[in-house]
Amino acid sequence: MAELTVRTAGESHGPAILALVEGFPAGVPVETALIDADLARRQGGYGRGDRQKIEADRVEVLAGVRHGRTLPGPVVLMVRNRDARLEEAPAVTRPRPGHADLAGALKFLDADVRNVLERASARETAGRVAAGGLAKCLLREFAIEVVAWVSRLGGVAAAEPPADVAEVRRRRDTSDLYCPDSGATDAMKAAIDRAREAGDTLGGVITCVATGVPPGLGSHAQWTRKLDGRLARAVMSIQAVKGVQIGLGFAAADRPGSQVHDPIAFDASQRDGPAVGFVRATNHAGGLEGGMTNGAPVVLSAAMKPISTLRAPLPSVDLVSRRAEEAAYERSDVCAVPAASVVVEAVVATELAAAMVERFGGDALGQMKAAYEAWRRAAQDL
């Protein structure tokens, strides 16, 4: 069975971040401009630190693409680091609470936590965003769209966005905070300004929706193949994400079943839609039932904790002297929830692309499309 996997390599201040994508179907048109647009968005958002002024991320394709289409072989994507000074970067011996620093020092028996933080850093997500851009090139062949935005930041909540994802994306892309609610954007910016002045940091919540997703991605049959679990793992693995919920998530726990589960209806006019006519008036399940997509949009959200590196540092201990010291300060963001929303969009796109490959066979795009159409016709005649 074809399996689409993504692995990354590279240090925050090394020469580059790399993404190795294996099991990607051959023949998929690759538009690097789309990948670059996501890389640029990952660098943006109100509240970022000075590092983003140095970097100008662009993807370079090192392997697996010819004449603008994927080949039957691994794809390697590279994003260069302009701020490449790994060898000169000073040792860090005062671990920052909330970072990988102390756990890594004790694990690797190394008092210079730079040897851990360079890889733990969210600079790694440039590789995952590049791979996610490639995944989107596959998904768009099946009219699947993934859109993520900032829905809460520093305690300010955005209004419920419109159902039309194209409109959500349009509004999001006019906001400095990637939030489709302009009023909330202003309040969020003010919250970031206050946090910056106080030497503090902020977190928030990201919402992600995928539309056009056919039913049956993932599987109920084995826990490792349940798509809700796979999506949760992918999103939870993003640096600083501490909670993931699908559909109603935690709110479902407080409601009776009659107000949680989405009644099923049949609408013949939607027979050509992703759910082949089996529609739901509500989508509290977030498009996933029994570990499989059900034809409704996939909806999930992620909670990001505030950035761990504080300009007004928290108490720590010097690993060499064992004396109480303030935690180290590395140039840092005040808030990176908008950037993290781009990463959420990328990893959800990657997980959905992997599930599409698994379901419809991943050797070549033409073969996948034929399998998809054959399934759709059979489901319409069920």
Residue carrying structure tokens 């662009």: 58
Contact 46, 97 (CB under 8 A): no
Contact 289, 275 (CB under 8 A): no
Using CB under 6 A as the binding rule, the residues of this chain from 79 to 98 that contact ligand FMN are 98
Segment near ligand FMN (CB under 6 A); pick from 147-155, 221-229, 317-325, 336-344? 336-344
Taking CB under 6 A as the rule, does residue 18 contact ligand FMN?
no
Cβ-based nearer residue to ligand FMN, 75 or 339 = 339
Cβ-based nearer residue to ligand FMN, 46 or 142 = 46
Give dist(CA 376, CA 271) in Å, integer. Answer: 10
Cβ-based nearer residue to ligand FMN, 125 or 185 = 125
Site string for ligand FMN, 33-52 (x = CB under 6 A): ----------------x---
For residue 347, the tally of other CB atoms under 10 A from its CB is: 28
Taking CB under 6 A as the rule, does residue 210 contact ligand FMN?
no
Segment near ligand FMN (CB under 6 A); pick from 54-62, 132-140, 163-171, 237-245? 237-245
Give dist(CA 199, CA 201) in Å, integer. Answer: 7
Contact 130, 19 (CB under 8 A): yes
Give dist(CA 25, CA 365) in Å, integer. Answer: 6
Give dist(CA 60, CA 76) in Å, integer. Answer: 9
3-state secondary structure of 287: coil
Using CB under 6 A as the binding rule, the residues of this chain from 95 to 134 that contact ligand FMN are 98-100, 120-122, 125
Instruction: Report CA dihedral (20, 104, 336, 136) to the nearest 10 degrees.
Output: 20
* Nearest distance in Å: CB 225, ligand FMN: 25
Cβ-based nearer residue to ligand FMN, 100 or 184 = 100
Contact 303, 157 (CB under 8 A): no
Taking CB under 6 A as the rule, does residue 135 contact ligand FMN?
no
* Nearest distance in Å: CB 54, ligand FMN: 13
Cβ-based nearer residue to ligand FMN, 49 or 74 = 49
* Nearest distance in Å: CB 86, ligand FMN: 17
- Strand intervals (E) in 158-294: 204-211, 241-246, 264-266, 278-280, 288-289, 292-293
Cβ-based nearer residue to ligand FMN, 39 or 100 = 100
Cβ-based nearer residue to ligand FMN, 47 or 212 = 47
Using CB under 6 A as the binding rule, the residues of this chain from 137 to 196 that contact ligand FMN are none
Segment near ligand FMN (CB under 6 A); pick from 82-90, 289-297, 302-310, 354-362? 302-310
HSE, side-chain direction, 13 A CA sphere, residue 335: 31
Residues whose CB falls within 8 Å of the CB of residue 317, separated by 6 or more in sequence, listed in order? 94, 95, 323, 324, 325
Question: Structure tokens of 24?
Answer: 């990607």
Number of residues in contact with ligand FMN under rule CB under 6 A: 20
Contact 90, 330 (CB under 8 A): no
Give dist(CA 160, CA 99) in Å, integer. Answer: 33
Residues 168-175: contacts with CB within 8 Å, 24+ apart? 168/209, 172/147, 175/150
DSSP code, position 330: -
Report the residue from 30, 240, 348, 368 that binds ligand FMN according to the rule CB under 6 A: 240
Segment near ligand FMN (CB under 6 A); pick from 232-240, 274-282, 295-303, 365-373? 232-240
* Nearest distance in Å: CB 125, ligand FMN: 5
Report the residue from 35, 116, 168, 340 that binds ligand FMN according to the rule CB under 6 A: 340
Angle, vertex CA 28, rays to CA 354 and CA 138, nearest 5? 40
Segment near ligand FMN (CB under 6 A); pick from 74-82, 106-114, 305-313, 317-325? 305-313
Segment near ligand FMN (CB under 6 A); pick from 147-155, 318-326, 332-340, 365-373? 332-340
Segment near ligand FMN (CB under 6 A); pick from 58-66, 142-150, 211-219, 304-312? 304-312
What are the residues binding ligand FMN (CB under 6 A)? 49, 98-100, 120-122, 125, 238-240, 307-309, 332-333, 336, 339-340, 343
